[in-house]
Chains A and B, each alone.
Chain A
């Protein structure tokens, strides 16, 4: 499983890790070199010191003589404040110096300097030894000069350099982390803009992405396009399925209803007619319920990712009213439109659905030869659609309760309806940030339904 850490952070961490390794490497290299250089310079001075002493060795009357030149030690004192020890032996006998100072392990070749790191007086010392053969009387006597110095100065210098190198490495690391973060952000920018391009899309926009992407994102893009294609197909299939299902159910219902109507024409007795009427009403009711359930599902689905199209409520109302005109005419009900431009942002399909349900109710519950008035008005902040009818009104129950699912007014007996109409309308308006107001018609005894929507 890939942990859910952001790629940017992981990339930064990865680059920072590389930088850390490089910093560590460079630090240890610089430290090593510093140590080496400091040790080398100490060796050089020790060698010079031992050589200077060895050069004073001479033979006087068969006796080996020497004197320690001041410079032999002052040069050692110049490089550090380290303790200095020395020893001069002639043919293995101590001439002067510290008798127990460790001698070179191997006999040094004449003129060659050997270096050793030893432990002396509880401290690590670096020794330089040089051998010089002196002719004392008739025989050559090997004279070994050993000069030793403690390592404090070398350690101090290499420690100092090492600390400086560490400081530089840390600084390098910090800069590298900063740059890594920058690099990660820069390289992720196409991904982000790609993601934005996807998220900016509308709820039903399943067209393939065409934008140019870096080659690394091409597989993602094509995978996304394939997914959207499959999703689109799947949606189309399920739409087709719903359509097919509706077709399969509604077509036989239509047959039943038509047959019932035909039978009604020729039915002789009142009982049979009554039964046929009941069949027809049952068919109508189930069809209407199914329609409203679908509408309701549509509202729930579309409200999740509401389209924000700018539209004129006046135009919408005119179109919806026109579609319902024939139904109204059947009852000699007049749809009286009074519209003014009122712009809102929203989903036209949902608003149409809401208005259709309300008008449907108004027509259904209004007596014959009455008028349903539809008024569209825009105020400063809100746009309103008012539908008022001369129907029986809302009854005695609280108006708010009527918008609950499957609620019907107390005085709607004999009229087909599932009670979902008001619920659908209320939910649509809520999704748009508006509300549905229910109240008695102030100009008559019917109902007044008001859509309140924020103006665009």
Chain B
């Protein structure tokens, strides 16, 4: 399969081969000579406790944790870089990898316990369900109530453009895989997305690669509002803040719930330990109690209760927006909306 040339030329993603941009790497040395190489989109400090806990059970295992953007991760796996486990928040890219044969099957009693919506075949398994949220500073609200819907948000932005000029942040969907996923799914689900985008476009929005940066800027006061931020990051970061003027708002009209997924790459060497890690992640993901893990559990009922919507469906339909023609068309529209 390796030698088959896939002409799926995603214009943005089609970058030359093996030179991935690894943002951070950390090795957790074990006592034995086995090592497990993980590539992930989750920041090191977010995932750190998971690795420590896993290593407590497997002290012999050396864990090598590399952080990359979802696009870089996708490219790395496609270029057959040697990783044993790939954890990504970009469901569509993971889906494309699995569909195109870059993931290998894995089954255990753990995976069998997963609900159907949290897996695709025996290739992709979800271990968190993370909603997209709005983070905003209440200072800009004045006497207005917290916006509950996109329409509220549009009204707020239109009423007080002065408060938001240069102070609205969102994903640069051209660079962020997750941002692109959120944007396409939202555009598919609600027409308010484009209206909101146009409103934001007039306010000279600032574009980001990652949720964490947006949250930091809101906390720093440089941003009044960050749209489509990963709720998990925001909660985790804000829990460390004392400033109660910053609020996490979940949209009630529609909210994306992203599933963070894991695949075992087709060329993985240490599949046994990758499977063990997968099982362990699923065990944490399926936990009933709201333990103090940085990432929220899969628990569908809680996700459904807080957002009113199910998570983004795993399946080949996710690949639709990755099609170069579709992507070009979507980005054109997006750029028209946001870069006025």
Does A pair with B? yes
Chain A residues in the interface with B (C-beta under 8 A): 65-74, 76-78, 81-85, 94-100, 121-122, 152
- Cβ-defined partner of A77 (8 Å) among B5, B7, B316, B329: B316
Decide: B1 and A122 in contact? CB cutoff 8 A. yes
Interface size on B, residues (CB 8 A): 24
Please give the distance in Å from B200's CB to the nearest CB on chain A: 24
**B124 to A, closest residue via Cβ:** A81
A98 to B8, CA, bound (A): 6
A82 to B316, CA, bound (A): 8
- B21 within 8 Å of A by Cβ? no
Known contacts: A83-B99, A99-B5, A121-B101. The answer to whether A68 contacts B325 by CB under 8 A is: yes
Chain B residues in the interface with A (C-beta under 8 A): 1, 4-8, 98-101, 120-121, 188, 313, 315-317, 319-320, 323-326, 329
Cβ–Cβ < 8 Å partners of A69 in chain B: 320
A94 to B320, CA, bound (A): 17
Cβ–Cβ < 8 Å partners of B188 in chain A: 70
Please give the distance in Å from A77's CB to the nearest CB on chain B: 3
Decide: B8 and A72 in contact? CB cutoff 8 A. no
Decide: B4 and A73 in contact? CB cutoff 8 A. no
A83 to B105, CA, bound (A): 13
Decide: B316 and A83 in contact? CB cutoff 8 A. yes
Cβ–Cβ < 8 Å partners of B317 in chain A: 70-71, 73-74, 76-77
Cβ–Cβ < 8 Å partners of A71 in chain B: 317
Known contacts: A100-B7, A121-B1. The answer to whether A66 contacts B325 by CB under 8 A is: yes
Decide: A67 and B315 in contact? CB cutoff 8 A. no
A82 to B99, CA, bound (A): 8
Cβ–Cβ < 8 Å partners of A152 in chain B: 121
- Cβ-defined partner of A70 (8 Å) among B8, B99, B101, B320: B320
Decide: B7 and A99 in contact? CB cutoff 8 A. yes
Please give the distance in Å from B16's CB to the nearest CB on chain A: 18
Decide: A98 and B101 in contact? CB cutoff 8 A. no
A71 to B320, CA, bound (A): 9
Cβ–Cβ < 8 Å partners of A74 in chain B: 313, 315-317, 320
A416 to B222, CA, bound (A): 150
A198 to B1, CA, bound (A): 81
Cβ–Cβ < 8 Å partners of B324 in chain A: 96
Cβ–Cβ < 8 Å partners of A66 in chain B: 325
Decide: B313 and A77 in contact? CB cutoff 8 A. yes
List of 6 A-B pairs having minimum Cβ-Cβ separation, nearest first: A99-B7, A77-B315, A74-B317, A84-B316, A73-B317, A73-B316
Please give the distance in Å from A152's CB to the nearest CB on chain B: 8
Cβ–Cβ < 8 Å partners of A100 in chain B: 4-7
Most B-side CB within 10 Å, residue of A72, A81, A83? A81
Please give the distance in Å from A436's CB to the nearest CB on chain B: 84
Please give the distance in Å from A53's CB to the nearest CB on chain B: 10
Decide: B320 and A121 in contact? CB cutoff 8 A. no
Please give the distance in Å from A71's CB to the nearest CB on chain B: 8
Cβ–Cβ < 8 Å partners of A81 in chain B: 120-121, 315
A95 to B323, CA, bound (A): 10
A121 to B315, CA, bound (A): 19
Cβ–Cβ < 8 Å partners of B8 in chain A: 97-98
A243 to B293, CA, bound (A): 116
Cβ–Cβ < 8 Å partners of B98 in chain A: 83
Cβ–Cβ < 8 Å partners of A95 in chain B: 325
Cβ–Cβ < 8 Å partners of A83 in chain B: 98-101, 316
Decide: B6 and A68 in contact? CB cutoff 8 A. no
Decide: A84 and B7 in contact? CB cutoff 8 A. no
A72 to B188, CA, bound (A): 14
Given contacts A65-B325, A77-B316, 13 further A-B contacts (CB under 8 A): A68-B320, A70-B320, A73-B316, A73-B320, A77-B317, A82-B316, A83-B316, A84-B99, A94-B7, A97-B323, A98-B6, A99-B6, A100-B6
Most A-side CB within 10 Å, residue of B4, B315, B324, B326? B315
A96 to B325, CA, bound (A): 7
A94 to B316, CA, bound (A): 21
Decide: A67 and B101 in contact? CB cutoff 8 A. no
Please give the distance in Å from B21's CB to the nearest CB on chain A: 26
A65 to B320, CA, bound (A): 15
A66 to B320, CA, bound (A): 12
Cβ–Cβ < 8 Å partners of B319 in chain A: 73, 84
Please give the distance in Å from B327's CB to the nearest CB on chain A: 10
A81 to B317, CA, bound (A): 11
Q: Can you report 24 A-B residue pairs in the complex whose CB atoms are below 8 A from each other?
A: A67-B326, A67-B329, A68-B323, A68-B325, A73-B315, A73-B319, A73-B320, A74-B316, A74-B320, A77-B313, A78-B315, A81-B120, A81-B121, A81-B315, A82-B316, A83-B98, A83-B101, A84-B99, A84-B316, A95-B325, A97-B7, A97-B323, A100-B5, A100-B6
Please give the distance in Å from A206's CB to the nearest CB on chain B: 78
Please give the distance in Å from B125's CB to the nearest CB on chain A: 13
**B324 to A, closest residue via Cβ:** A96
Please give the distance in Å from A11's CB to the nearest CB on chain B: 49
Please give the distance in Å from B274's CB to the nearest CB on chain A: 21
Please give the distance in Å from A419's CB to the nearest CB on chain B: 93
Decide: B316 and A76 in contact? CB cutoff 8 A. yes
Cβ–Cβ < 8 Å partners of B5 in chain A: 99-100
A65 to B4, CA, bound (A): 27
A65 to B326, CA, bound (A): 10
Please give the distance in Å from B153's CB to the nearest CB on chain A: 25
Please give the distance in Å from A145's CB to the nearest CB on chain B: 12
Cβ–Cβ < 8 Å partners of B121 in chain A: 81, 152
Cβ–Cβ < 8 Å partners of A77 in chain B: 313, 315-317
A74 to B121, CA, bound (A): 15
Please give the distance in Å from A283's CB to the nearest CB on chain B: 106
Decide: A122 and B101 in contact? CB cutoff 8 A. yes
Please give the distance in Å from A255's CB to the nearest CB on chain B: 110
Decide: A72 and B4 in contact? CB cutoff 8 A. no
Decide: B4 and A121 in contact? CB cutoff 8 A. yes
Cβ–Cβ < 8 Å partners of B101 in chain A: 83, 121-122
**A121 to B, closest residue via Cβ:** B101
A70 to B325, CA, bound (A): 13
A74 to B321, CA, bound (A): 12
A76 to B95, CA, bound (A): 14
A193 to B98, CA, bound (A): 73
Decide: A72 and B323 in contact? CB cutoff 8 A. no
Most A-side CB within 10 Å, residue of B100, B325, B329? B325
